[in-house]
Amino acid sequence: MIVIRSGDMRPIVIATMLMLGFGFSAQSQESASTTEIRSALAREARVRVIVEMAMPEIEAARNLERPSASGTTEETTGLKIERNRAAVAATAVEMKGNLARTDIAMEQDFANLPMFTTTVDAEKFERLIRTAGVKQIFLDKPLARHGMKPEWPLPSVMLEKVPVKSSGEATSATPDELDVKAEKAARTAAINAATADDPAKALLSTTVTYINADKAWSRGFTGRGQSVAVLDDGVERNHDMFFGKIVAEACYSTIGRSDDVPLCPSGATSSTAVGSATNCSAGANVCAHGSHVAGIAVGNDTIGSTTLRGVAYEANLVPVQVFTLVNNQADCDNAAPCLLAYSSAILSGLNYVIGQVGSQKIAAVNLSLGGDPVSGNCDTDVRKTAIDTLRGLGVLTTIAAGNDGKIGQITAPACISTAVAVSSTVIAVPDTGVNQAATVDVLAPGVLVRSANLNNTYISRSGSSMSAPHAAGAIAILKSAKPNATASEIESALKNGGISTTLSTWTWSTPRLDLNKSLDLLGAAGTVFGVAMPGIFGSKNSEGTSYLRFFNADSTAATMTVQIYDDVTGNKVGTWTKSVRGLSSPQFSMATIEAESSPPISSPASSSQYYSLFIDAPFVGFAQHVLWSPQTSILSNVSGCDNGLSDSGRFINNTHTTLISGYTSFLVVHNTANSDGKPSFDVRDARDGSEIGTFTTASNIKAHTSALIKVSDVLQTLGKQPDSSQYHLNMIMSQTGFTGFAQHWVQNDASGIITNLTPKCDI
């Protein structure tokens, strides 16, 4: 367990607050953090601090997530991140103005967080706390890791003995007197389970079965399409458990003192290049703890008939290294050198993950680190805003509760109310050797968990650091089962699906993870997953012809699964799978879907046949249902879904450029900024996502006004002509240089009827 020792941009800011729900109150001038900084300045002439800037407070917007069953959905994750970034930038500009006369500089900023670092002496600090726009100030202090407490020694059959001091995990606990028999029996069973298989490669599967992850796998949910970010001391890239899994990585290694040694490649203090979080040759057991934690969450290794699988074994990994090699004896408790993580490095890591959420489909962030045990919540913690921002993007942060053996207390930042605090069990019995409190959200296995170690080996470790990644992997599985579930829905299923667990010394109970039951709760009976689209006309329905469009907003191809239910009988009649290329939105008639279904739906029940479709896709995107009426020659958008309709103003899919005369297709573009501007679009062939070109309007769109653009003019400008009656364009509005949104309208020239084809369902 890693432990802590102790134009006018305001409209953009307001809009972002509505989405991300930042609600701030003024900082007490004599808060605990202020007192800590004053104490530090009494010992040292200058200290580095982290400043959190105030953002507009909108109490009604604290809920960050879009509705799951009805109502209007919010923007795509990418657009949401960009709008938040614009709000942070606007706040920073205002703050720089406030600091202009104070001789205080912003030394390091965070693009996705309203924070910056600066170095102050006592006089500058007094100026800083009186500066307008300052919400809170924190000392940028180094964070330490506990050593391991030797107890319950492992049998000699194990290849590696758990070291007395290593990556920070307690190997055992002093059992509560009233629960000695149960805990000792559970520990004995854990030891036996950890050593019963091939000693060269003991199965992690022993502990994942304690949370019923194997049952989730048997139902087809393995975390595929999702990623878990692990902020730790790095991972061993060449370990078999991580082969092909690392999709992005970063390193942030703050230098707080002159003799600190950064751990990023080539001695850098930050890096996002390949190899950034896998610089494991720096000494001091670097990568040992992070590799073990990451293996529990997403590891996957098979040798012969022996498998070693983490919870979400088909999920990807985003490792972020946040530690520094420190040589100061006082900082290391007279045990230098040691690994410490500065608060600014952890914030940099969280800031990086926020920026990666959309592109890497991050389901959970794991922090197996913490601080001194506290009672209750700690919502003034420096990491709270970052954790809330991630939650607003649909990402939960799992944090280890600590290994101090405290009853009624857990460590910071696990005590942040919006995080998922995780503590340890010995199989099914709460582990009294770690921290347990009513503020713990879930319990997961944490004793003798076998996972990755350095040099492509394996080792068993214990502690709440091992419990937290079990929960992170569980979240990735739940997210893979229902990609559009909100963070609150995932957390609710995680906790309410758990088995109520208590001890005789507790005045509370804590749910113990049961992933199979959580899947049931999330899936509303556990039988059907995916976005529900009702009222799809069967191919023999004489009233109209249904066309389904599926837009993959990612850059790579992925396969979606569509379950088809008969609206008359309620029976499932088939399953249709289809690979959708990146940035494409192919269109399919229901007749095609019926024919390609498994089994094929060869004889729809009647001429008034209707279906309900359940679309489960590993990519972020949209589904749309359009209906052609042969009697009226009208094309209608009849999209409907259980998670509400998206009116995304950036991704405009399937804009019509057909050869059919009498139907004119328009883009309606609105400029929301206070100044004139030209929108720019990335234009692609909807059928396969291939790039056609970039289109920019010839003239400005005036502030707060709209413009109509013929889609046929866009194609002509780019030197293209439609080659089929179903030649559609996907148009993606650039997020830079223009602030606004677009819609897609189609006009029936004969009747004058205009149909808005913009709304669609998020998938």
Q: What is the pLDDT of residue 222?
A: 92
- Asked if residue 250 and residue 124 are part of one domain, the reply reads no
- Using the predicted structure, report yes or no on whether residue 165 has a pLDDT greater than 50: no
Q: What is the pLDDT of residue 540?
A: 87
Task: Identify the CA nearest to 311 among candidates 320, 303, 299, 324.
Answer: 299
Q: What is the pLDDT of residue 25?
A: 36
Is residue 508 domain-resident?
Answer: no
- Domain boundary among the residues 96, 125, 141 is at 141
- Asked if residue 31 and residue 96 are part of one domain, the reply reads yes
Cα 584 to Cα 686: distance, rounded to the nearest angstrom: 5
Q: What is the pLDDT of residue 331?
A: 82
- Domain boundary among the residues 466, 481, 496 is at 481
The 10 Å Cβ neighbour count of residue 677 is 18
Task: Identify the CA nearest to 593 among candidates 608, 613, 609.
Answer: 613
- Asked if residue 238 and residue 114 are part of one domain, the reply reads no
Model confidence pLDDT, tens digit, residues 300-311:
987 555 678 999
Q: Cα 81–86–91 angle (5° rounding)?
A: 125
Task: For residue 150, name the pLDDT band (cuts at 50, 70, 90).
Answer: very low
Is residue 519 domain-resident?
Answer: no
Are 315 and 476 spatial neighbours (Cβ–Cβ below 8 Å)?
Answer: yes
Is residue 184 domain-resident?
Answer: yes
- Asked if residue 196 and residue 106 are part of one domain, the reply reads no
- Asked if residue 340 and residue 288 are part of one domain, the reply reads yes
Mean pLDDT of the chain: 83
- Asked if residue 752 and residue 620 are part of one domain, the reply reads yes
Is residue 567 domain-resident?
Answer: yes
Output the DSSP codes for 366-395: EE-EE-SEESS--TTSTTHHHHHHHHHTT-
- Asked if residue 557 and residue 473 are part of one domain, the reply reads no
Pairing between β-strand 680-685 and β-strand 691-696 as defined by DSSP bridges: antiparallel
Q: What is the pLDDT of residue 158?
A: 26
Model confidence pLDDT, tens digit, residues 506-539:
999 999 999 989 998 887 434 456 678 999 999 8
- Asked if residue 232 and residue 114 are part of one domain, the reply reads no
Q: What is the pLDDT of residue 605?
A: 55
CATH of residue 328's domain is 3.40.50.200
Q: What is the pLDDT of residue 737?
A: 82
- Asked if residue 195 and residue 131 are part of one domain, the reply reads no
Is residue 510 domain-resident?
Answer: no
Task: Identify the CA nearest to 138 among candidates 29, 55, 51, 47.
Answer: 51
- Asked if residue 299 and residue 202 are part of one domain, the reply reads yes
Is residue 42 domain-resident?
Answer: yes
Domain that holds residue 51: 2-141
Are 289 and 275 spatial neighbours (Cβ–Cβ below 8 Å)?
Answer: no
Is residue 84 domain-resident?
Answer: yes
Rg (CA), the chain: 28
Contacts of residue 2, defined as CB under 8 A and 6 or more positions apart, other chains included, come to 143, 144, 145, 146, 167, 168, 232, 233, 289, 341, 368, 369, 370, 465
Domain count, the chain: 3
- Asked if residue 181 and residue 84 are part of one domain, the reply reads no
- Asked if residue 230 and residue 117 are part of one domain, the reply reads no
Are 199 and 158 spatial neighbours (Cβ–Cβ below 8 Å)?
Answer: yes
**Mean local confidence (pLDDT), 678-686:** 93
Return phi, psi of residue 362, to 5°: -75, 125
- Domain boundary among the residues 141, 167, 190 is at 141
